[in-house]
Amino acid sequence: MGVLDGRVALVTGASRGIGAEIARRFGAAGAAVAVTARSTSGAPTAMPGTIDQTVAEISGAGGHAVAIPADLSRPDDRTRLVEETSARLGAPDILVSNAAVTWFAPVAEFTLRRYALMFAVQVEAPFHLATLVLPGLRARGAGWILNISSGAARHPAVPASRAVRGGTVYGMCKAALERFSTGLAAELYDDNIAVNALSPSRVVPTPGTIFHHLTSQDDPRAEPPAVMAEAALLLCHREPRTLTGRIAYSQELLAEFGVPVPRLPAAACGSAPLGYQKDVQGLDLIPVHPQRVDLQRAQ
């Protein structure tokens, strides 16, 4: 019996990286997963990974998933996404908004078109999708909404280090997403619907972060995507009123609840999938000391 048996999860940005890892983990935990992004086997992008590949990995491990392509910058696509998910799997019990399109450039060089597109995908889409799934969550008397954020939401030091220059708009998107998450959590507490924001404790090697030169596949300081997936699962199955309104960080959250940190190789950059099974056999887990989480030491 998986902790998500009987649940329907909708995960955006699930063709690769953190989104694909969360979709695989939820499938292993028993959820029927709607996997969405723009990248499909018939319309791949320059980066590795498609929603069809993610679905094949979930199905191959004994889970159930469907691929629903969507461009989340388009309101009509968001509406269709929720309608098709409901028609094929049932109304979502869980919404994970992970999709992102990102450019890094100083404000003086940022174009309005890119600014608008980033906010459409990273802020407007999570907002709109939440409103679309709310009627179903309220009807069932429980639900979970999780927005994937980043440490970039934190205010930078002044003067800023070279590492954070060019990330102002990205940080704005994530800060807005976090404020939306806590506000919605307060609004929906009486409806028994949990809303949280989750960020990685360390940079996660994904096709996107590697493309932007934020990390590398073999970076010993990086966090495997399985850590975010395990933290996402924690936030999307507990009794909603007991774990809501959090701006959480993956390793700190797992340590707080005594959940082992997955000791797994990063699989988000085109290497073999992690191979979750329905009974979660084969995971190499390490215990977490409640006062210290040091994934680098465990690798």
Contacts of 289 (CB under 8 A, 6+ apart): 255
Q: Which residues is 206 bridged to in the sheet?
A: none
Which one of 170, 189, 249, 276 is the catalytic residue? 170
Tell me the H-state helices in the chain: 17-28, 51-60, 75-88, 112-119, 125-140, 168-188, 207-211, 225-235, 250-256, 295-298
DSSP state of 186: H
Q: Which residue shows structure tokens 């980066």?
A: 47
Distance CA 36, CA 142 (A): 23
DSSP state of 143: E
Contacts of 205 (CB under 8 A, 6+ apart): 215, 216, 217, 219, 222, 224, 225, 266, 268, 269
Contact 100, 13 (CB under 8 A): yes
> What DSSP string describes 64-129?
EEEE----TTSHHHHHHHHHHHHHHT-S-SEEEE---------GGG--HHHHHHHHIIIIIHHHHH
Instruction: Assess whether 189 carries a catalytic annotation.
Output: no
Q: Which among 199, 197, 153 has a CA at the least distance from the CA of 174? A: 153
- Tell me which residues are annotated as active site: 170
